[in-house]
Each structure stands twice: as C-alpha cells, then as structure tokens.
Structure 1
Amino acid sequence: MTNPETRRDTPTDGARVEEALRLLSGAPVELDVAVKRLSRGSGVYAWWAAPSVLPDLPGPPNENVPSLRLLYVGRATSLRGRILRNHLRRSGSSTLRRTLAGLLVAEGYRTTWTDRVVLVAEDEARLTAWMHANLRLTWAEDPEPETIEADLVRRLHPPLNVHGVDPEHVQPAVVAAKNSYDASSGPVEP
C-alpha cells in the first residue's frame, strides 16, 4: 500500500510531463557534448535538426533555438545506454536509425539480414557520422518515462514518431521509409 505522506510529495504525471516539456524544449546540444552529459538514469529524449536536414518533414521549432525543429521523441530506462549503445550505434535496436536510413535512401545505405534487417557495418558508421553532423539532442530525467512518453508525443507531434501519434500527424513519408527499409535486406554478410 502506498504511504499517503509519500504520495503527496511525488509529482503527478501532469507535473512530470510539464517538467519534461520544459527540459526537452531547452537548447539542444551537439551529440559530442550530449554523450558526456547523459546520465545512466531513466528519462525521455528529443532529437532535433535544422529544417534543411529533412526538408519534407514538418516539426515544431525549438523554443530556445528556432533554427532547429523537433524530429523524434523517445524514452529510455538508461538515457546514456539508449543513446550511445542503440541510437548512435545499432540499427537493429533503434527505430530512429532505421527510419533515418529509410529517409536517406539517396545516400545508398545498404542492409543485410541477421534476425532482422540491419545496416551493414560500414553504413552503421556512416549513419552515426551523419547523425553527429546533423542532429542535436535534449533530454529530461524521469523515474517512470513510460508513463509520460505518450503525452509528450501527442503534445509535440514529432514527425519521425509513428506509434502514439494522432493519425492526422502520422507522416506518410516516414511510414513509407520504414517499409522501404524493412524490405531492403541484401545478402547476409559472411
């Protein structure tokens, strides 16, 4: 049973969403800076880019740096682990990476099949370099990010998110990119 005294001191989900919105709307930082500052704690994060990076996808501008717009919102049980080990390294465990590779089809990213479609090693490194050059990050620590992520996605309308987005905000180009990526598997690497 929950102690009523403790319950009064615990922020409500609404207050946690507002705090996360405040932090996610802060000035996005370059990835080299972010990787030094990210904690091992749980939380939510937002990826940002200049409008010229993916010009066909709308996204709300950052309140502090209007030249950047929101691309994607996610959650993590370990911010540091999710960003460093998944989003900046492995397409097999990052919807963001798979979506970016699908959207950047003109860049000629190559895939292979393991237990799922993944980028070949050389293109994993190439996509990571692209992300470092073009994307920025904000984040907010939160003890239960799974309870606030859906509210954040519904309020912010990040164009690369598909799940949890109101149907009128789902971007057909993103769905097509995900499908194209998933269908792109080449031969298995030796």
Structure 2
Amino acid sequence: MDKLRKHLEEIIALSDEEFEYIKTFFVPKRVKKHQYLIQEGDQANLEYLILSGIFRMFYLDSEGKEYIVQFAGENWWMADYQAYFNAKKATLHITCMEDAEVLCLNLAGREKLAAGLHKMEHFFRVKLTKGYTAQHRRIISLLSSTPQQRYEEFGLLYPHLMQKIPKKYIAEYLGVSRETLSRLYTNSKGR
C-alpha cells in the first residue's frame, strides 16, 4: 500500500488517518501474463490502479480484428470506463502483458471516497482529466499525423513502453503493419 500512498500524494496531501481510511477501499490482486482483467460482455465494475506490469486494452470487431485502444503501465488507471460508470457490460478487453500487481476499486467505493473526502474527489478529477487529455491527443494523432509522426510521438511519450511491448502490438496501436513499423524504426534511427 506504500505505492498507493505515494501515488495519491503526487496530487494530494494525506494524513495517516485519511490514508488508513482510503486503503480500506482497495483490494490488491496479482495478475499473470496473458490473464484478462476484463473481457467483452463481463460486468465491468472495477477500476484498476497498476502497481507493476503492463496491460493492453483492445476492442475486437465482428471479424476478430484487434484494435488497441491503450497500453497502461505502473501508476496508470485502467477500466472500460464506459461500462464502469454506466453499469453496463464491457465492450473492451484488458489483458496483462507481463506478470503484474493491481489495486482494484469498485464504483461504489470510488463514489464513497469522493463524497467523504474532498481530496479524493480532487484526485479522481485530476486523473480523469489527464486521461481524457491523453485520449484526445491520441485521436487527433490518429486522424492527422503520418505513421512516422505517430511512431516518434509514441517513443517520446512512452520510451519505457517502447522497450517492453512487442513490436506487433506497437504496430497495431499505431495503425500500421509490422513491416511499416520496421521501416519507421529504421527511418527514425537514420535521422
């Protein structure tokens, strides 16, 4: 739970009593490589704070083609938020790419924390705003950037992920073939 406190205190200050209360809402979970946190059709009633490991969130179309929505690593929050906030079934999949640890928070607990501690309401608002901004940047990049620009931006924003995620998934995330990704890598090294 030390990681949780450190993570929260990047945004808010907490007394020992406040943190003791907060941590009662979180349930730790170990996740193995290739294990799913959520699959399409599941009840998506948990949000996850990633303490270690890397996760991939993706959508599968009717033909089984995978579209990667997001990667998430340490100190990132992840859920199928459309399902989580609206008590609907998941439309996305979240799978573990390496052994990991997460903290699970259900929506009722999140709401109780936000209502009972203004600090936590502020924390959640800041995190959602940052997440929304990152998703917005990704959409604009997909719509308006060249594959080379998307590759370079991914490398600048997430150098630690670039080293750990298999190239196949980076290519999918960027919306290019594996062969195109190899050319993008070569082009960026030649500059």
Establish whether TM, by shorter chain, passes 0.5: no
Q: TM-score, normalised by structure 1?
A: 0.31
Q: TM-score, normalised by structure 2?
A: 0.31
Structure richer in strand, relative to its length: 2
Q: Name the structure, 1 or 2, with higher relative contact order (CA <8 Å, separation 6+).
A: 1
